């Protein structure tokens, strides 16, 4: 499972609470970035940001993290929406700027017509929604939000910032101008003072969106199962030639591709990973192990590369089953040696049973048992 940070509300009674959405989202990001070793609040983040009024932006996240906690986020301002998805699937939490009304929550103040900051965790529902902590929620909570709404909200906010900068794409703006524009719009429209009669520009996100990301953590990693036999399941599948093999359940960390078709043990879907990821066991060598030795390992593949899924064929009994049968056979032989005369006479009349007792293989069952 991916580490899940605690959601944080901006509505903590502090003087700038209504403007601290991005700072509260940054607190969630810090928690995830440090795997719970460092935590904060919107008000504490604000105190380290160097900004004492109005809204904040990615620049304040950078300053607050570095000054207060000796950590550094990855700034992605002006990058395309596809990079947001790439970071999430790589196991990064994203601190995303959106137009709140377009996302539709999870928690809105009035019309929601204002810029807003959300924390988006790298956990995706099987139906495609992403796990979101909205700082306006009080008490704080995690909610599932559709990818389409997050994308639309991020693009509208970016387009509004671009319009404020004279129509220039965000990726082309000088850093100081971009920060000034974002700060201006965050201050102009807030949950206390939302926009009125201010339609969205018709741009469509060509200039990128605004977000920052944490370090990446894989929800699932490739695992050598040799030391933990027998790890298996009752299902197998054939993997298509040249299928991409991944080390993580988000299908982001590619290890290799197969050189030909092979049959693998199918373990199942991945909790918290890519909805189309499937965990399998197959022999891996150089892609995982520096010594080049092939070992059975849990890795991940896209579901569309699997076919002919079926029950696993019955194999030979495991070592513990064989040992139990040997022990039972020894007990049976000992019992025959001390059997009462009546039973001995019965055995004498059953040559087949005697032959089995003397010569049968260890794993066989006696006739009639």
Most confidently modeled range among 68-82, 245-259, 354-368: 68-82
- Of 9, 237, 4, 248, residue with least CA distance to 131: 4
- Quick one: fold of 223-311? SH3 type barrels. (2.30.30)
Quote the pTM value.
Answer: 0.62
Helix axes 341-348, 351-359, angle to 10 degrees: 100
Confidence grade of residue 365 (pLDDT, cut at 50, 70, 90): very low
Reported as type and span, the H/E element at residue 343 is helix 341-348
Helix, strand or coil for residue 215? Answer: coil
- Of 95, 14, 106, 28, residue with least CA distance to 59: 95
Most confidently modeled range among 67-81, 232-246, 334-348: 67-81
The Cα–Cα gap between 47 and 67 comes to 10
Q: Give every CB contact of residue 230 below 8 A, 6+ residues apart in sequence.
A: 318
The pLDDT assigned to 228 comes to 47
Q: What is the pLDDT of residues 78-122, one digit of tens each?
A: 899 999 999 999 899 999 999 999 999 999 988 899 999 999 999
- Of 36, 27, 22, 34, residue with least CA distance to 71: 34
Q: Domains of the chain: which residue ranges?
A: 17-213, 223-311, 319-359
- Surface-to-core class of residue 35, CB atoms within 10 Å of its CB (0-12 exposed, 13-18 middle, 19+ buried): exposed
Q: What is the pLDDT of residues 303-359, one digit of tens each?
A: 999 999 998 876 665 565 566 667 667 766 776 666 555 455 544 555 554 454 455
Architecture label for domain 17-213: Alpha-Beta Complex (3.90)
Q: Give every CB contact of residue 222 below 8 A, 6+ residues apart in sequence.
A: 247, 248, 255, 284, 288, 297, 298, 299, 300
pLDDT at 368 over 50: no
The pLDDT assigned to 227 comes to 46
Reported as type and span, the H/E element at residue 150 is helix 147-164
């Amino acid at each position: 499972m991916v580490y899940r940070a605690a959601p944080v509300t901006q509505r903590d009674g502090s003087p700038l609470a209504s403007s601290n959405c991005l700072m509260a989202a940054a607190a969630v990001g810090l928690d995830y970035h440090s795997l719970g070793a460092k935590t904060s609040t919107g008000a504490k983040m604000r105190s380290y940001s160097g900004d004492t009024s109005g809204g904040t932006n990615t620049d304040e996240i950078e300053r607050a993290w570095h000054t207060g906690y000796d950590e550094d986020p990855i700034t992605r301002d002006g990058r395309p929406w596809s990079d947001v998805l790439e970071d999430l699937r790589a196991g990064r939490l994203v601190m995303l700027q959106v137009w709140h009304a377009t996302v539709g929550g999870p928690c809105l103040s009035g019309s929601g017509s204002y810029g807003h900051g959300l924390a988006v965790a790298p956990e995706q529902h099987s139906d495609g929604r992403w796990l979101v902590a909205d700082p306006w929620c009080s008490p704080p909570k995690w909610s599932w939000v559709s990818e389409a709404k997050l994308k639309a909200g991020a693009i509208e906010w970016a387009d509004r910032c671009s319009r404020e900068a004279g129509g220039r794409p965000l990726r082309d703006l000088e850093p100081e101008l971009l920060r000034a524009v974002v700060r201006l719009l965050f201050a102009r429209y807030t949950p206390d003072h939302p926009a009125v009669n201010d339609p969205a520009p018709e741009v469509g996100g060509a200039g990128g969106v605004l977000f920052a990301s944490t370090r990446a953590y894989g929800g699932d990693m490739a695992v050598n199962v040799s030391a933990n036999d027998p790890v298996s399941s009752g299902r197998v599948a054939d993997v298509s030639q040249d299928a991409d093999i991944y080390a993580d359940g988000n299908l982001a960390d590619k290890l290799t591709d197969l050189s030909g078709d092979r049959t693998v043990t199918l373990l199942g879907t991945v909790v918290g990973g890519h909805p189309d990821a499937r965990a399998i066991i197959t022999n891996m060598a150089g892609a995982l192990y520096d010594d080049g030795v092939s070992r059975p390992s849990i890795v991940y593949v896209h579901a569309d590369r699997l076919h002919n899924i079926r029950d696993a064929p019955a194999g030979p009994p495991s070592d513990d089953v064989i040992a139990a049968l040997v022990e039972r056979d020894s007990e049976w032989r000992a019992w025959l040696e001390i059997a009462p005369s009546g039973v001995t006479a019965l055995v004498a009349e059953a040559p087949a049973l005697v032959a089995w007792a003397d010569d049968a293989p260890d794993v066989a069952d006696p006739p009639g048992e």
